[in-house]
């Protein structure tokens, strides 16, 4: 399962929970007189952001808080937390992939599953971050909440479940506003009343003669000069600066754009398999960056650092510092994201017009009126921070505070559309250029695809380069080459299947027995957006592919891949039920993937003669055997 914009916080080899003293969160809590610790399992940065907000709010309830990454902590110390009076551990945990914990929570999750620690006296609360369009909705948080109770810990407040397909911000605010009264009751404490708006980072401005130019970050993810002095292994903190060798348009009309891009990874020592993902670090639009500088009256070339006021925190800066405002806005912060309510709350303090201030304050509240206004003004109108400052003209926050509040710019993930059997030195990507008009008449553009569309190789010029790394996936071809496969991938959902077909065709050419390859592909119009048409039809002619095509807008009644799949339920059951075949789904999680799942269940019942309960069990078995795989996004 793939969520667009997924972000891996750290990649360390899994193993025993580390025991070095610097990882002692108990020691840090005691040294700084804290009783609240908020752990996060974060893949896109949202859980980390929520954890930070909870830790900050603890001050209102005389509970000094600390944010902690489980991967950087000795989690066995949870057994000792009870020794700190009125202590509380809150877990903000995202579910990722096929119901998996995030990379930075994997070791902790495994420890809880395999061990039997006595957590008597541990007070806890859990908030989960998930997406209802995925089958394994909030599985990690649900398990964690139940497991902690089984290990004799005390649940202070009920499990909160956030749904990113609806309004996860609303879910979080509603939950935390009920959490604090429960905490007050448990520990017999009271709110201090007014919230305190405390900056987490302090600003240090550097003069040009104070810092050598070579010590200023210019877009590196973690290590200074890492994009100039490239050293493997390449991963989330150390991406490879890959050359764009090919960047061409796949659509032949219809008003939309779809790119075929080939990244050169020769010399990187990176390896990939068909079905893996590539993470691309994008650069924000320079016009938006310039506009944000204008709206805040800032010198974008000024060099600055933001330094954490919490000396115990492992996160010394929100992003690599020192750097210039231009670099921070281009490479480090998410300026096109819709600002969450806590950002609006802080921005309100910089309004000179009272009505502007009240509007921002209202949107940051949990009231029905405030929620409705936030939904219409920010969410429905797709206003980013630039648009909000343009439309609330008396709000003029300092740029350093905006840089502190905005989330970190995340890599964008794409299913790789090639096979190393055919292309060992290049990684191919198939991506629709995101562009749409908002309710305010503005045009919003996707960060990564807009940048990629503007960076094409030109004769006589050096090729553009982009930082990237490979992320392994569970979306894999069967071990036995003779196993038949069914692939359902409308639009750019075709991407991983292009890699699968290249792989299977290469294997057949080498003399291996290869099972049937059945592909369901759909688009709007054969003449406009039938991508890789020549390749697919060549595979069909060669006997490498059975191709089922749906062109939704070529007739009065729309026809989709799901209609064709339903018509071929006999073949579907034969492959899955009689021939031990595999089925793969790639594309839209919300509608297409759900429909395909239901069609499979129907085929198992009608063609396989199973009851509804037996069909559900059969499908569950397919999933557990990795014979049903989904690489979907919402």
Q: Which residues are catalytic?
A: 415, 586, 631, 633
Question: What is the spatial distance between Cα 531 and Cα 526, in angstroms, rounded to a whole number?
Answer: 9
The Cβ of residue 120 has, within 10 Å, a number of other Cβ atoms equal to 11
How many CA atoms lie less than 13 Å away from 523 in the CB half-sphere?
21
293 among annotated binding-site residues: no
136 among annotated binding-site residues: yes
Buried b (16+ CB within 10 A) or exposed e, 461-478: eeebebbbbbbebebbbb
Question: What is the spatial distance between Cα 349 and Cα 344, in angstroms, rounded to a whole number?
Answer: 9
414 among annotated binding-site residues: yes
446 among annotated binding-site residues: yes
Question: What is the spatial distance between Cα 163 and Cα 482, in angstroms, rounded to a whole number?
Answer: 40
299 among annotated binding-site residues: no
Residue showing tokens 């509007």: 359
| Residue 233: cis peptide before it, omega within 30 degrees of 0 | yes
Q: What's the longest Cα–Cα distance across the chain?
A: 79
Rounded to the nearest 10 degrees, the angle between the axes of helix 46-57 and helix 168-187 is 30
205 among annotated binding-site residues: no
Say which DSSP state 17 is in: P
Name the residue among 428, 398, 378, 59 with its Cα closest to residue 203.
398
336 among annotated binding-site residues: no
44 among annotated binding-site residues: yes
134 among annotated binding-site residues: yes
Question: What is the spatial distance between Cα 374 and Cα 380, in angstroms, rounded to a whole number?
Answer: 9
476 among annotated binding-site residues: no
Question: Does residue 280 contact residue 412 with C-beta atoms inside 8 Å?
Answer: yes
129 among annotated binding-site residues: yes
Question: Does residue 484 contact residue 575 with C-beta atoms inside 8 Å?
Answer: yes
552 among annotated binding-site residues: yes
226 among annotated binding-site residues: no
609 among annotated binding-site residues: no
> In terms of DSSP bridges, do strands 277-280 and 465-471 run parallel, antiparallel, or are they unpaired?
antiparallel
How many CA atoms lie less than 13 Å away from 228 in the CB half-sphere?
6
180 among annotated binding-site residues: no
Tokens (6 digits) for 108: 């902790």
436 among annotated binding-site residues: yes
Question: What is the spatial distance between Cα 544 and Cα 517, in angstroms, rounded to a whole number?
Answer: 7
256 among annotated binding-site residues: yes
Rounded to the nearest 10 degrees, the angle between the axes of helix 341-348 and helix 354-363 is 160
> In terms of DSSP bridges, do strands 277-280 and 412-415 run parallel, antiparallel, or are they unpaired?
antiparallel
412 among annotated binding-site residues: yes
623 among annotated binding-site residues: no
608 among annotated binding-site residues: no
185 among annotated binding-site residues: no
Output the known binding site for FAD: 412-415, 430-432, 436, 446-449, 633
Output the known binding site for FMN: 42-47, 94-97, 129-138, 164
Output the known binding site: 42-47, 94-97, 129-138, 164, 256, 412-415, 430-432, 436, 446-449, 492, 552-553, 558-562, 595, 633
Output the known binding site for NADP(+): 256, 492, 552-553, 558-562, 595
């Amino acid at each position: 399962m793939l969520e667009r914009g997924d972000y891996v916080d750290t990649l360390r080899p899994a193993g025993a929970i580390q025991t070095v003293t610097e990882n002692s969160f108990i020691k840090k809590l005691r040294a700084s007189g804290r009783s609240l610790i908020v752990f996060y399992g974060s893949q896109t940065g949202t859980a980390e952001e929520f954890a930070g907000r909870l830790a900050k709010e603890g001050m209102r309830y005389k509970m000094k808080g600390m944010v902690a990454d489980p991967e950087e902590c000795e989690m066995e110390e949870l057994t000792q937390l009870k020794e700190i009076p009125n202590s509380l551990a809150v877990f903000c945990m995202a579910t990722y992939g096929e119901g998996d914990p995030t990379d930075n929570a994997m070791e902790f999750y495994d420890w809880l599953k395999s061990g039997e620690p006595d957590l008597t006296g541990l007070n806890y609360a859990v908030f989960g971050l998930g997406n209802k369009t995925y089958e394994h909705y909030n599985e990690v948080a649900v398990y964690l909440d139940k497991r902690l109770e089984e290990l004799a810990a005390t649940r202070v407040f009920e499990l909160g479940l956030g749904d990113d397909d609806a309004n996860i911000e609303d879910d979080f605010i509603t939950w935390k506003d009920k959490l604090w009264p429960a905490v007050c009751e448990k520990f017999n404490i009271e709110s201090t009343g007014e919230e305190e708006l405390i900056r987490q980072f302090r600003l240090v401005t550097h003069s040009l003669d104070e810092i050598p130019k070579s010590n200023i970050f210019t877009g590196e993810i973690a290590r200074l000069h890492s994009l100039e002095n490239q050293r493997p292994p390449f991963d989330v903190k150390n991406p490879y600066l890959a050359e764009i060798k090919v960047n061409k348009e796949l659509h032949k009309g219809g008003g939309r754009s779809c790119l075929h891009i080939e990244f050169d990874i020769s010399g990187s020592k990176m390896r990939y398999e068909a079905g893996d993902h590539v993470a691309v670090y994008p650069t924000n639009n320079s016009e938006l960056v310039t506009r944000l500088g204008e709206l805040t009256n800032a010198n974008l070339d000024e060099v600055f650092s933001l330094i954490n006021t919490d000396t115990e925190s492992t996160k010394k800066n929100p992003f690599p510092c020192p750097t210039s405002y231009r670099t921070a806005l281009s490479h480090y912060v998410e300026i096109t994201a819709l600002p969450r309510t806590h950002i609006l709350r802080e921005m309100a303090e910089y309004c000179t017009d009272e009505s502007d201030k009240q509007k921002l304050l209202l949107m940051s509240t949990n009231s029905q009126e405030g929620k409705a206004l936030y939904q219409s003004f920010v969410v429905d109108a797709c206003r980013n921070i630039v648009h909000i400052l343009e439309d609330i003209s008396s709000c003029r926050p300092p740029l350093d505070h905006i840089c502190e509040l905005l989330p970190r710019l995340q890599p964008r993930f794409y299913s790789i559309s090639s096979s190393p059997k055919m292309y060992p030195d290049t990684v191919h990507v198939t991506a629709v250029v995101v562009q749409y008009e908002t309710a305010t008449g503005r045009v919003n553009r996707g960060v990564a695809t807009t940048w990629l569309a503007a960076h094409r190789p030109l004769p006589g010029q050096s090729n553009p380069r982009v930082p990237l790394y490979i992320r392994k996936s569970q979306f894999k071809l069967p071990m036995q080459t003779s196993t038949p496969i069914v692939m359902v991938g409308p639009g750019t959902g075709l991407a991983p299947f292009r890699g699968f077909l290249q792989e299977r065709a290469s294997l057949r050419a080498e003399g291996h027995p290869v099972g049937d390859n059945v592909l369901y592909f759909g688009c709007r119009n054969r003449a406009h957006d039938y991508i890789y048409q020549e390749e697919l039809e060549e595979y069909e002619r060669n006997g490498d592919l059975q191709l089922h095509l749906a062109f939704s807008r070529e007739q009065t009644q729309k026809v989709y891949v799901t209609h064709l799949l339903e018509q071929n339920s006999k073949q579907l059951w034969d492959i899955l039920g009689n021939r031990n075949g595999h089925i793969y789904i790639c594309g839209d999680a919300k509608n297409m993937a759900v429909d395909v799942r239901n069609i499979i269940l129907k085929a198992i019942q009608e063609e396989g003669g199973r009851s509804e309960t037996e069909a559900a069990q059969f499908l569950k078995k397919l999933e557990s055997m990795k014979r049903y795989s989904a690489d979907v996004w919402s």
